A and B are shown apart, each in its own frame.
Chain A
């Protein structure tokens, strides 16, 4: 009897979003994938915050980039992406724009947008969307409302159950404790680059990278380091040294 209860307790206490998820989505960038333990965990909650409100577009781009990571679950037409935002977020920062999304690699017909009047509706809609098997990623965009750890844990659980990607997009970093598997702070870097900082990672070390989105490959690339001042020496092996 006691043994049974212990087993049940163990099953209930299973940490959410780690290991038991349906695998990881590799970003295709070795140092990041190594830090994440193979890639971004599916079936888990990830929080992405903009450095400040002005950088929200970059954080949006980074989030959308994560949703277009090649997913093994559905092939062909692709999984749906559900973007659920507070009314204020859409009014202040602009609504997702189809032609821009399309160039970014997210086909607009795959996107479903939902506007929520209050955070409670947003969280409910996120959970519902996560439960739908046709949805591969759910983006929840919050302005500066606090969500509460219970709600975040519910999201983690819903994501773990479905194997979909739950992404919480915030316009500024939040101090709330959270069950998210990873937490990112994203800002713009010069020349269409993202400065992505991994500030919380349940599977490995933290880090910070300058990334670039490649429209043609539809994936992230590590931004090439700045050109050195002097051109690299050419190979002049055919010349004879005097």
Chain B
């Protein structure tokens, strides 16, 4: 359209406006373009899982072994072209044996399908820019009269490399296929994939779940054959209008039972609620196992007893369901760590990760440690971070007489301590030593307080130690 009006890329805007006063100019937004390109790349996942983005305006698809699903390369190109044209984009497609050759054909040559081994004849008539070279390299080549790729094909290699750098020859070799060029797919390729296309788009949640179960059953065979189980799954739903819905779910143990996979996604869909917008329906679904782990064969319980393995399995299922609905970060297990600093000694980790490392002996060794050292008692609830309090102590190193926490004044009637806990002196961010006290106030409430910093360490002019409240006892 623009070319018919006599406009072309590189024309000054003022000149274009002079030719066509009604011209509307839209600023380029590289970021938005990049996002759009990625969206199109995601959409192309319906043809192959190996899709790479080639900025600013290209996509590379590795369709090895995928074309037959559409009835050949030509049919695939026709399908892809029709769908892209429907959404209103102009496009050039070429299929060739190497990334370089396909790129050159799409940008400079005749968009078509070329067989492997045709690269040399395909490339020869094309300009050197088709080798994806830097503009100054192309300019330097043109200066010495080398314009087409055919011009350099039969030249001795070492003078070329010496004069124009090894980049030129590498690009040439890659286009010819004598050197391998890896494709960097935008998304990691899943080890297990099952997909299904529908003649009629589906939109209802039940239909999606039924398809999911069928796909999961197909994956189950593949997983069983290799003794794997899924730790992370993704359901990709391709909407007819080109949108892509990707729904991921994690598990606490390797999983391959379709019924259990289904329950996970039931929760995920429930959590999505309205965000799961089927529009005019989905015309393709793909279930991929993103992370697989070896999984011992399922053992059927003998005698129906509630053995430990069964308990673990049930807990794992509960954790998976809760994590799928509420988010993995919200479901946590407590882990003991080898540290004397109270807030580091026990941390909570997402249960899905923690259960996987179930044989963690942390608490066992903590119990030994507590028994051996007669550890002073610890509060039931620990505040997320110590809260500063205003405290008055009788003697500098003694327990507080009274303190004010969250605006309430507490008169201390009994105190136990101090329990001195050194800071992490080996680290820059270790913080000062703490003296912990267990105090009881008039109404019987019991708190875990500490003084941060010791008077013995106080240097001239430094701030006095401050008090914090760290936890509450039952």
Residues of A participating in the B interface, judged by any CB pair closer than 8 Å:
54-58, 60-62, 64, 74, 76-77, 80, 82, 90-91, 93-104, 107-109, 111-117, 121, 124-125, 128-129, 132-135, 187-194, 213
Contact = CB atoms under 8 A, between A and B. Distances in A.
Contacts of B325: 121, 124-125
B346 interface: yes
Interface in B114-128: none
B378 to A, nearest CB: 4
Nearest to B345: A99
B336 A108 contact: yes
Contact of A99 (B319, B370, B446): B370
Nearest to B351: A112
A112 B315 contact: yes
B380 A188 contact: no
8 contacts: A57-B474, A96-B380, A121-B326, A128-B321, A134-B315, A191-B440, A192-B474, A213-B474
Nearest to A74: B306
Q: Which range contains the number of B residues in contact with the other chain?
A: 35 or more
Contact of B473 (A57, A64, A74): A57
B258 interface: no
A74 B382 CA distance: 30
B166 interface: no
B330 A114 contact: yes
A116 B333 CA distance: 15
A93 B444 CA distance: 17
Contacts of A102: 363, 366-367, 370
Contacts of B384: 90-91, 94-95
Contacts of B345: 98-99
A98 B363 contact: yes
Interface in B460-474: 471-474
B332 interface: yes
A101 B319 CA distance: 21
Contacts of A98: 334-336, 345-346, 363, 366
B184 interface: no
A93 B334 contact: no
B331 interface: yes
A132 B315 contact: yes
Contacts of B367: 102
B326 A61 contact: no
Contact of A60 (B335, B351, B474): B474
A62 B474 CA distance: 8
Given A90-B384, A99-B345, A108-B334, 11 more contacts: A57-B474, A97-B342, A98-B363, A99-B336, A99-B370, A100-B377, A100-B473, A112-B351, A114-B332, A117-B326, A134-B310
Nearest to A53: B406
B472 A125 contact: no
Contact of B382 (A100, A117, A124): A100
Contacts of B471: 94, 97, 100
Interface in B256-298: none
Interface string B306-325: 10101110110111011001
Contacts of A57: 379-381, 445-446, 472-474
Contacts of A134: 310-312, 314-315, 318
B330 A115 contact: yes
B444 A128 contact: no
B348 interface: yes
**Most chain-A Cβ atoms within 10 A of its Cβ — which of B321, B366, B444, B471?**
B444
B380 A97 contact: yes
A125 B335 CA distance: 22
